[in-house]
Amino acid sequence: MSEPTTEVMAAPRSSRGFGGLGEMRHLGLLAALALLVVVGLITRPENFATTSNLVSILSLAATIGVITVGATFVIIGGGIDLSVGAVMALASVWATTLATQSYGPVVMAICAILVGTGAGVVNGLLIAYGRMVPFIATLAMLVAARGLAQRMSDRKTQLIQADNAAIVDLSTTRVLGIPLLVYVFALVVVLGWIVLNRTTFGRRTYAVGGNPEAARLAGIDVRKHTVLLYALSGLCCGIAAILIMARTTTGSSTHGDLYELDAIAAVIIGGTLLTGGRGTIVGSILGLLIFTLITNLFILNGLNTSDQLIAKGLIIVVAVLLQRRNLKERAP
């Protein structure tokens, strides 16, 4: 009997690139973005169409956007990660303790990345080898990471010392009028797109999310790949922690509150299936920009934060219902 192949078929083009349904979905998201821009120009033309507001939108999108890239991989792989906001908060607190800061900004950045990645590995091990449901495992990590961050910081905000201003420079230094942290975000997006669409790891992610048993029979170590997916999500949380430290000049246990909502919602709006096996980085980033613009418009128009949350919740419900409808129409 022949040996099982160690490679899998590439995901359908509609899931990975700009062709077919994927292109139509992206065009729809671009139309929604254009509509929001028009709303901004009509309601607050003197504030919306300014350089400072554009920079504000991009800076806000950068932090959540890095997390969204990691969340896209996890959800395409058939999982879910509710702990991203809390893990980012823990990484920021750990990196801004006096002990860590005494070693300088490079060690602070490495610390944030290691803490985030380590938390992701724990999630992956619990899910892949402990056979815990992703929802429960990452919910437990959310609570534990937030609690550990509060304990380490004694519920106090930790300021970045003047000697470590290199971290803050990511937010204050601008190239072509755009903060460096936005370029970091763009780099993460490009690397994420390449990994998902041009590497074996990306093809295996689609395979594991689409049909784990078929992926196993094709020679993929599904459990190992699952651990790597959550480690990647944790890595993105660590990078996001560096960016939020740069924006706020602090590490805090309150950082990243409800970021898991924004990241997962952006991924869903971008067309990624909650059941896994289909999705794109481009769609997720477009979904993120839609959410960020909505937040910006609410702020500029002085609307209540609670109304903003209601609007976001309704958008998520509509996106999921449309997803289910499309799946039924495609079913034989």
Amino acid making up residue 290: I
Q: Which residues contact 209 (CB under 8 A, 6 or more apart)?
A: 75, 76, 77, 78, 273, 275, 276, 277, 278
pLDDT of residue 318: 79
Tell me whether residue 235 is exposed, middle or buried, using C-beta atoms within 10 angstroms of its C-beta: 0 to 12, 13 to 18, 19 or more. Answer: buried
Amino acid making up residue 48: F
pLDDT of residue 326: 65
d(Cα 230, Cα 45) in Å, to the nearest integer?
42
pLDDT of residue 327: 60
Q: Report the chain (332 residues): mean pLDDT per 10 consecutive residues.
A: 45 45 73 88 86 89 95 96 96 94 94 97 96 95 96 92 91 92 96 96 95 93 96 97 95 92 90 89 93 88 79 80 66 54
d(Cα 100, Cα 90) in Å, to the nearest integer?
13
Rounded to the nearest 5 degrees, what angle is found at the Cα of 331, between the Cα atoms of 326 and 332? 150
Length of the chain, please?
332
Q: Tokens 């300021």 appear where? A: 159
Q: What is the pTM of this model?
A: 0.89
Closest C-alpha to 125, from 225, 210, 235: 225
pLDDT of residue 329: 58
Pairing type for strands 158-159 and 250-251 reads antiparallel
Rounded to the nearest 5 degrees, what angle is found at the Cα of 118, between the Cα atoms of 139 and 65? 70
Separate counts of helices (H) and strands (E) for the chain: 16, 4
